[in-house]
Amino acid sequence: MTPKEMYYEKRGQILVKNLESRHFEAYYCANKEEALKKALELIPEGASVGWGGTMTATAMGLQNAIHAGPYRAMDRDRCATTEEREKLQREMFFADAFITGANALSLDGQMVNIDGTGNRVAPIVYGPGMVIVVAGMNKVEDSLDAAMNRARTVAAPMNKQRFPNQTPCGVTGNCADCKSAESICNQILITRNCRPAGRIKFILIGEDLGF
């Protein structure tokens, strides 16, 4: 193992225990191949599965595996119109499983996510029977304050580069705490405990993945 791999594994085991103390399920996987296998083990055959924008799941090949497997994929990117996309995003509240990434995690077991329209953070809070969070260990910070700072000043400005509409962070790469109509920082969610217990399941991955 490389020093980084050893570092990630040791911090990952601490984070798993801290997440479990907050009533989440949590698993540590050394790489995205192991993480993909674990995610598919958690999803029962025949389940309806939706997801928000998650570059980590894409890097794992998770969406493709769901399309190819014995599941009903709820893929907003395959909708023909904006209206169909919005309808499907609402239907994801009734999905058997919802997949998401994390903008940041604190080592004591709390998650921070920032969203533009709420279609990602809302199903985390309530709706789908199971939420699976896939997160590279590059998302983990020592404290909740540091996790919040990462989400605001690293994850959001980096994510904004994917979109054509302009905000201050889209132009400069730096958060300006803006009120732009195109802001992707309209909802900030801190998930600190899981209720009911086990509904949210974390797969921590010992690689640098996502923003």
Residue 27, in any domain of the structure:
yes
Tell me whether the omega of the peptide bond preceding residue 196 falls within 30 degrees of 0, making it cis: yes
Confidence of residue 171 (pLDDT cuts 50, 70, 90): confident
Specify if 38 maps to a domain: yes
Whole-number Å distance between alpha carbons of 40 and 29: 13
- Number of folded domains in the chain? 1
pLDDT at 184: 86
| Residue 14 resides in a domain | yes
In the prediction, which pLDDT does 151 show?
96
Residue at 211 is within a domain: no
pLDDT at 126: 97
In a domain, 98, yes or no: yes
**Dist. CA 27–CA 12, nearest whole Å:** 9
User: Would you say residue 86 lies in a domain?
Assistant: yes
pLDDT tens digits, residue range 188-204?
999 999 999 999 999 99
pTM: 0.95
For 53, counting Cβ atoms within 10 Å of its Cβ (0-12 exposed, 13-18 middle, 19+ buried), the class is middle
| pLDDT bucket at 145, cuts 50 / 70 / 90 | very high
| H or E, element range at 134 | strand 130-136
Residues of the domain holding 60: 3-205
Q: Residue 68 domain-assigned?
A: yes
Q: What's the CATH code of the domain at 65?
A: 3.40.50.10420
Q: Rounded mean pLDDT of 3-16?
A: 98
Please list the alpha-helical segments (H only) found in the chain.
3-21, 32-42, 55-60, 62-68, 82-91, 121-125, 144-150, 156-160, 168-172
> What does pLDDT average to over the chain?
95
Contact 97, 49 (CB under 8 A): yes
